[in-house]
Amino acid sequence: MKPVRLLRLLVLGACSLLPWLAHAQYNPYSVPIDSRSQFYLGASVGSSLPGDYSGRLSDWLSGAYNATTTLAPGDYIATSTSQDRTAFGGRLFGGLWVTPNFGLEAGYTGLGHIHWSARSLDTTGSFDVTDSGSVRPHAWYEAVLIATNRNGLRWFGKVGAYQASTTLEVSSLDNLSGASFGVSESIRNSGTLVGLGVSTPLGGHAALRMEAEDYLGVGRSDTPDIPPWHGNIVLLSVGYVQVF
C-alpha cells in the first residue's frame, strides 16, 4: 500500500474515533477546553495536496520549445505531462489560547516534495526530450484562531499569513543526442493561510488535533528556464498537542 494512501486511511480512522473520544474523555475542567489561558506545543503529519498544474507545465514547455526550435510548416511539438497529486507534509507549531474561544499560533510547515515529468517531441521524429522537475515548498506562519467548544470538542477556524521558501528544479534529457542539463531556483513569497480544525482531549494534558489548511499562492518563478509554478497547496493533517 502506498504511504500516502495509508496516511489517508489513518486520518479517516482518527476522524471516526472523535465522537467516542469526546464521550470517553469529556470533562468540563479538562484540557484543552478550559477557562484559563493555555500555552501549547504540537506536531502533525499528513497529506499535502497541490493543485493540478500539468496543463500549465505542458503549455510552458510547448511554448519554450516552439520558441527555440525551427519547425517546418505542419510540424509541431506535443508535450505530455504528469504531476504528483499528493505528497507527505507535516508541521511543528505552538500557540496560546488566550481565552477558550480565541488563540494565537505560529509554526513551521513542510508542504511536501512534488514531482512532475514530461516528454516533448515533434511530428518528424527529429526532436525528443524528456523533462522532469520538482517543487519543494516550506513555510513559516502566524495565525489567529477562533473556536467554539461543544461536547468536549474544540472546533476552530484559522486565518493568518505565511512566508514561504520554494525550491524549483528542472532537468532535461535529449533522447536523441543524450545531452542533458538542469537548473534550479529558490524563491520566496508571502501569502494568506486559512484553515479549519478540531481537537479533543486524550487525557492528562494531551490532545488529538486534526486540520485542513490552505496555503494560498505558494511560490512564483520569473526565471525563463523554470516553469511558472504559483498555486494553492492544501495540507490535511493529524497530530499531537501538549498543553501546559
Give strand pairing partners of 13: none
Q: Cα-flanking dihedrals φ and ψ of residue 41, to 5°?
A: -130, 145
Half-sphere exposure of 205 (CA within 13 A, CB side): 8
17: confidence class by pLDDT, cuts 50, 70, 90: very low
Q: Check residue 136 and give its pLDDT.
A: 94
CATH of the domain at 122: 2.40.160.20
Question: Residue 162 is placed in which grid cell?
Answer: 505565511
CB 21 within 8 A of CB 206: no
Pairwise CA distance, residues 145 & 81, whole Å: 39
Residue 236: strand, helix, or coil = strand
Which range (78-82, 93-97, 220-224) has the least confidence? 220-224
Q: Check residue 33 and give its pLDDT.
A: 52
Is residue 36 pLDDT above 80, yes or no? no
CB 35 within 8 A of CB 100: yes
Give strand pairing partners of 188: 165
CB 81 within 8 A of CB 57: yes
| pLDDT tens-place string over residues 212-231 | 999 998 987 666 777 777 78
Distance, CA of 93 to chain centre: 16
Which of 147, 152, 232 has the alpha carbon at shortest distance from 197?
147
Pairwise CA distance, residues 174 & 65, whole Å: 12
Q: How many structural domains are present in the chain?
A: 1
- Tell me the whole-structure pTM to 2 decimals: 0.80
Q: Check residue 15 and give its pLDDT.
A: 47
Sign of the Cα pseudo-torsion (233, 82, 189, 191, in order): negative
Q: Check residue 63 and give its pLDDT.
A: 87
Half-sphere exposure of 70 (CA within 13 A, CB side): 0
Which structural domain, as residue segments, surrounds residue 237? Answer: 3-243
Q: Check residue 221 and give its pLDDT.
A: 66
Which of 14, 43, 55 has the alpha carbon at shortest distance from 231?
55
